Amino acid sequence: MSTNGPDGTQAVAGLLAPLLRSGDVVLLTGGLATGKTTFVKAVVAALGSSATVTSPTFMLAQFYPLPQGTVLHVDAYRLSGSMSIVTWGWTITLTTQSP
């Protein structure tokens, strides 16, 4: 899906947010500054959080606790090989693939 600007990206995020259920995974791909964080920011806001959402490029992962569950925002940009996040009894493993 492509949008013409932040407003469009926020609108798409606002439509998707109420459809998300616990355990859903949303994959965002795109080069630097293509609106991935803008999308996550709008999803988290639409779910009712006032948390400040930033790019987790240097953090790898950030958690946004919400009344209905926690949003885990992972940025795989600096990931090489694989990474596992163990949380709430789940193990999430991300593995990069050579182009």
Task: Name the site residues for ligand ATP (rule: CB under 6 A).
Answer: 3-6, 8-9, 30, 32-38, 55, 57
Of positions 12, 17, 28, 55, contacts Mg ion by CB under 5 A: 55
Residues 6+ apart with CB under 8 A from 77: 57
Residues linked to residue 37 through DSSP beta bridges, in sequence order: none
**Contact partner at residue 54 from Mg ion, ligand ATP, none, CB < 5 to 8 Å by partner kind:** none
CB of 91 to ligand ATP, least distance (A): 25
Taking the C-alpha atoms of residue 70 and residue 63, their distance in angstroms, rounded to an integer, is 7
